[in-house]
Structure 1
Amino acid sequence: MTTPPIITSVFDLFKVGPGPSSSHTIGPMKAAFDFRQRLAQLPADIQQRADAIHVYLYGSLSATGKGHGTDRAVVAGLLGWQPETTNPVAMLKLLRDPEVLYSVSVGERSIDVGASQIHFERKRYDSPYANTMVLKLLSGDQVLAEEEYYSIGGGFIIRKGEPEISASAYTVPYPYRTMAELKGLLIANAISLDELLMANEMALTNRSRADVNQRIDQILDFMHKAVRRGLKQKGVLPGTIRLSRKAPILFQQAKGMSQSSDSFLIFLNAYCLAASEENAAGGIVVTAPTSGASGVIPGLTFLAKHHFHYDRATMRAGMLAAAVIGFLIKHNASISGAEMGCMGEIGSASAMGAAFLTRCAQSVSDIGPIEAAAEIGIEHHLGMTCDPIGGYVQIPCIERNAMGAVKAYNAYLLATSGAASFQKISLDAVIKVMKATGRDMSTRYKETSEAGLALSATEC
C-alpha cells in the first residue's frame, strides 16, 4: 500500500504552547479541550445526568506525566484553555493544592474536576501508541461518553475512531513522501526548494505568501522571546531536582570573553539553555519539533540573527528548510520520544537545525548540502535514549539541547565543506535506520524514566 504524501503544515510542526513537553503537556491539553468541545455537543438529557469526569493516563503519560505537568495540562484543556494563549503562570498554579476543584462546563451543568479525577495508570493498556489517555463522562458508574486519544509527539494528537485525514482532501502542487521524491520534483519542475515548500504551504493553509511569511516571523519571535527570557531568569527550576538555571551565567561569561575563540560556542550554549530552561519552567516555547527539543533551533536562529546578522528573508528560507526535514522524519519515522527515544527529539531538531544553517549560508537553495547536513545530524544521534531524571524535562534534556545545536553546527560545516556529494548515506536511508532503531529500543529507554540516567535520581 502506497503511503500518502506529506500534508503537514509548517505551523503544525512549529507550534506555540507551554512547556515542558509537547507530547505530555500540549498534546494532553489539546485532547482535553477536544473532549470538552464534544461534551458541549451531547444531547441536553445526557448532559443533565452527568456527575463526574475522569481521566486515565497510560504509558509514558502515566510514567512521567507528573514531572511533565500532564495533570495540569488536562485540567487546563477541560477548562477551555488552548496552548498558544495559555498563561504559563496561571497554569503552574493548577493543582498546586490537591484539594482544590475546578468547575468544568458540560452544557448548562458544571462538574468539578480535581487531582482525584486524574488517574496515572501503571497497568498495561492495549493501545497502538505509547502515550494514551482516556476521558470519560460518568453518571455514577455509567459511562455517558468516552474518548480515547493518543499523543504522538510534537503536540500532535489522534482520536481513536477518527478517520485519518485523506491526502486527497488536500491538493498540494508538489506531493512527495521522501527526500528522493522531493529532489525529483525540484529537477522535473525546475523549481527551487524555497518556492516548492512555499507553494505547498500556501495550498495547505490557504494563506497568502505574505501571510505565511508573517507567521514564520511570528514563530521566530516566539522562539527568541523564550531565549531572551531565559537569559534573564535566575534561580531554581520547578520540581524536586532543584536544578539551578545556567543560561544567564553562561551569557555573562560569553560577553566577557569576546576576544576568545570559545565565546562563540558559549553564546550558542547560553541561547539553547535559555530556551530549554524556559521550557522546563513551563514557559511559552515553540515545538521545534517538540518542546523537549525547543532549545536547539531557537538557539541556532538567535545566533543566526544576532551574530551572523541574516535578514528576515534568509531566516524564513532557513526555517522552511528545517521544516521539510522535520516533515520527512515525522512522516517516515517519528519525532516522539516515546517511540524513538531522544533521537526522535534532539536528533530531529539537530538535523533540522543543520538544514537551517546550511540553507541560510546559501545564496541560492541547493538541496544537496541541505540533505547532507540533515543526514549527518541524525546519524550521530542514532540510538540516543530518552531517560529524564524524575520525569522532568531537565536532566539530561536541557544540556542535551545545547549539545544537539553544537552537532547541528558541525553537521552544517561538514556538509558545506565542498564534499556534500561524497556523502554515502542518504537522508531517506538514515531515517529508515532511525525508525528501525526506535522499534528495537527497549521501552525502558523511551520516556518512561525506568532506565539510564533516570536511575541517577537518588544522587540529585
Structure 2
Amino acid sequence: MNPVTTSIFELFKVGPGPSSSHTIGPMLASVEFMAQAAELPSQTLDRAAGLRVTLLGSLAATGRGHGTVRAVLAGLMGNRPQSCPPDILDSLSGFESGTVLLAGRTLPLREADIVFDMLARAERHPNTMIFRLLDVDGAALFEREAYSVGGGFIEWRDQPPAQRPAPAYPYDSMLGFREVLAATGLTLPEVMIANEAALTGQTPKQIEARIEDVMRAMEDAVERGLETEGVLPGPLGLNRKAKALFERYRQDPQMHDRPILALCACAFAASEENAAGHTIVTAPTSGGSGVLAAVLYVTKNLRPTAGVFRKALRDGMLAAALVGMLAKHNASVSGAEVGCQGEVGVASAMSAAFLAQVYGHEAKLVENAAETALEHHLGLTCDPVQGYVQIPCIERNAMGAVKAYAAYQIAAAVVSSYHMVGLDQAIKAMAETGRDMCAKYKETAQGGLATTVRC
C-alpha cells in the first residue's frame, strides 16, 4: 500500500490567489530556491550577479494572467504564501526593477528576469519552473528545476520526496478508509485527527485550533468579497457581482431560492477575492477556493441551522480534507493535469462531504455525497479567458457550491446502500478523463471559452 500522507494543512493553504499552481506554488518554490542558493560556498556566491526564472508549459501560457510573475518576484524577495500581506500581488503591480538579498549580498531583480518559454516542452509536469543564479556573463552558477503540481504543492527535480512518518491508520482509497472505520470502531473525524497527529506531531487541540484558523480565513475571504465593489484587475474589465447578489439575498426574506442565492453570493465573494490576488484558502486549489468557503459560510451564518456547534464544522472540514486528499493521491487537483474537474469538481465533492459530516451522517453517506458532486463535474475543462482566473472560473465556483448542496440533499434522501457508484470509481474516472483530455483544455487558454470569448 502507498498510503495517503498529506497533511490537512498542506491541502488547506492560506495564501494569495488567483491560482495555487500559478501563484502559491511558484512563490513557495522561489523562496525555497533562494534558501538553497544561500547555502552555496562563499566563492560561488561572490560571483553571483543576477537571477533568471524560466516558466514553461501552462505557467508560460497563462502565467501572466494568473499572477505568476508577481508571485515569483514576491517569493524571491522572501515572502511566503502563508505569511505574506493579503495584497502582496497588488503591491508589485508596475514593478520593473529592484534588488534582493542573498546571503548578505545584494542582487538586481527585474520583472524581465522572469522569462516565458513558449517553445520548450515541459517534460515532467506542465507547470515547470527553472531557477538560475547567474554570474556577470549570464552563465548559470546554480540551477534547479521545480514543478508546481497543483494545490500549492511543489516538487523538485532529482530530489525525492522527504520521508514522512507513517499515519496511525493507513489507507489509500475511500474503500480502505471505510475498512479502517469498520476495524477500529472510530469515526471519520477521529481517524483524520489521529493521522494528522502522527504525521505532524501536533496534539489534537493544536490541530483543532489550526482548523479554526483555516475556517476563519475562509470566512474572512467571503466577508471581504461581499463588501467590495468595482472592477477586477486585468484586461477583461470584469465587474464584481458578489455584493449585488448578497444585497438581493437580503432584500426578500420570503424568496424561495434564497439558499441558492446565498451560496452563489458567497462563492462569488471568495472567488472574486481570489481573482484579485488577495488571501484565500486552497480547497483544494485557489481556482476552486470559493466553493467550500461559501458552503462553510452559509452553513454557519445564513441557514436556519446557523449556530451549529463548532465541533460539527471542524468535523466537516476533516471530511472535506479526506476527499481532497484522496483526489490528489489517486488523480490530481491540478487544472493543468486534469482540467477544472480536478479543481472546482473536487472542491464541490469536498463541500458535499462537509455538509454530510456536519449534519451527522455516517461515512458511507459522506462518500455518496462527495461522489455525486464529483461525478457531475467529470470532463469539466479549464479554459480561462485570456488566462485570467475570472471567466468562467468565478461562476464555476458558484455552480460548484450549488451542486455540492444538491449532491448532499440527494445522498441524504435515500438509503446509502442504494448508491451505485463509489468515490474511488469517480476519482479513477476523473484521472482517466484528465489523461485523455486535449492539452488545449487544461489551463493553457488555447481552447474552449478561452478562444470563443472575446473581451
Where on the TM-score scale, by shorter chain, does this alignment land: which range? Answer: over 0.9
Look up the match of 2:121: 125
Once the two structures are superposed, the pairs formed by residues 62-141 of structure 1 within 5 Å of their partners are 62-97=60-95, 100-139=96-135, 140-141=137-138
Runs of 4 or more above 4 Å deviation: none
Work out whether residues 88 and 278 of structure 2, in 8 Å CA contact, stay in contact via their aligned partners in 1: no
User: Partners in 2 of 1:450 and 1:6 — Cα distance?
Assistant: 34
Once the two structures are superposed, the pairs formed by residues 225-264 of structure 1 within 5 Å of their partners are 225-264=220-259
AA paired with 2:125? Y
Specify which of 195, 219, 231 is matched with residue 190 of structure 2: 195
Look up the match of 2:443: 447
Look up the match of 1:178: 173
Unaligned runs of 5+ in 2: none
Work out whether residues 92 and 282 of structure 1, in 8 Å CA contact, stay in contact via their aligned partners in 2: yes
User: Partners in 1 of 2:90 and 2:193 — Cα distance?
Assistant: 37
Q: How far has the Cα of 1:340 moved from its partner?
A: 0.7
Look up the match of 2:209: 214
Q: How far has the Cα of 1:90 moved from its partner?
A: 3.9
AA paired with 2:422? S
CA deviations 1:5-58 (Å, max 9, x no partner) are 001011110000011110000000000000110111111110010111101000
Q: How far has the Cα of 1:126 moved from its partner?
A: 4.4
User: Partners in 1 of 2:252 and 2:315 — Cα distance?
Assistant: 32
Once the two structures are superposed, the pairs formed by residues 376-455 of structure 1 within 5 Å of their partners are 376-455=372-451
Work out whether residues 89 and 278 of structure 2, in 8 Å CA contact, stay in contact via their aligned partners in 1: no
TM-score by length of 1: 0.96
Work out whether residues 87 and 279 of structure 2, in 8 Å CA contact, stay in contact via their aligned partners in 1: no
Is 1:320 matched with 2:318? yes
Work out whether residues 95 and 115 of structure 1, in 8 Å CA contact, stay in contact via their aligned partners in 2: no
Work out whether residues 358 and 416 of structure 1, in 8 Å CA contact, stay in contact via their aligned partners in 2: yes
Look up the match of 2:145: 148
User: Partners in 2 of 1:456 and 1:284 — Cα distance?
Assistant: 30
CA deviations 1:399-422 (Å, max 9, x no partner) are 000000000000000111123211
Work out whether residues 56 and 122 of structure 2, in 8 Å CA contact, stay in contact via their aligned partners in 1: no
Pick which of 104-113 and 373-382 moved more: 104-113
Work out whether residues 445 and 452 of structure 1, in 8 Å CA contact, stay in contact via their aligned partners in 2: yes
User: Partners in 2 of 1:301 and 1:73 — Cα distance?
Assistant: 28
Q: How far has the Cα of 1:171 moved from its partner?
A: 2.2
Is 1:288 matched with 2:286? no
The number of equivalent residue pairs is: 451
Pick which of 387-396 and 137-146 moved more: 137-146
Q: How far has the Cα of 1:102 moved from its partner?
A: 2.3
User: Partners in 2 of 1:160 and 1:294 — Cα distance?
Assistant: 28
Specify which of 131, 146, 158 is matched with residue 155 of structure 2: 158
Is 1:375 matched with 2:340? no
Is 1:7 matched with 2:5? yes
AA paired with 1:315? L
AA paired with 1:59? G
AA paired with 1:255? R
AA paired with 2:8? V
- Secondary structure of the 1:88 match is coil
AA paired with 1:427? L
Specify which of 252, 258, 261 is matched with residue 266 of structure 1: 261
CA deviations 1:309-328 (Å, max 9, x no partner) are 22210000000000000010
Work out whether residues 347 and 382 of structure 1, in 8 Å CA contact, stay in contact via their aligned partners in 2: yes
User: Partners in 2 of 1:253 and 1:95 — Cα distance?
Assistant: 34
User: Partners in 2 of 1:110 and 1:159 — Cα distance?
Assistant: 26
Work out whether residues 321 and 352 of structure 1, in 8 Å CA contact, stay in contact via their aligned partners in 2: yes
Look up the match of 1:356: 354
CA deviations 1:163-202 (Å, max 9, x no partner) are 1234xx3122100001111111111111111111111011
Work out whether residues 274 and 286 of structure 2, in 8 Å CA contact, stay in contact via their aligned partners in 1: yes
Q: How far has the Cα of 1:426 moved from its partner?
A: 0.9
TM-score by length of 2: 0.97
AA paired with 1:31? A
Work out whether residues 295 and 402 of structure 1, in 8 Å CA contact, stay in contact via their aligned partners in 2: yes
AA paired with 1:318? G
Work out whether residues 95 and 114 of structure 1, in 8 Å CA contact, stay in contact via their aligned partners in 2: no
Identity %: 47
AA paired with 1:102? G
Q: How far has the Cα of 1:457 moved from its partner?
A: 4.1
Work out whether residues 19 and 283 of structure 1, in 8 Å CA contact, stay in contact via their aligned partners in 2: yes
User: Partners in 2 of 1:161 and 1:186 — Cα distance?
Assistant: 37
Q: How far has the Cα of 1:95 moved from its partner?
A: 4.9
AA paired with 1:257? D
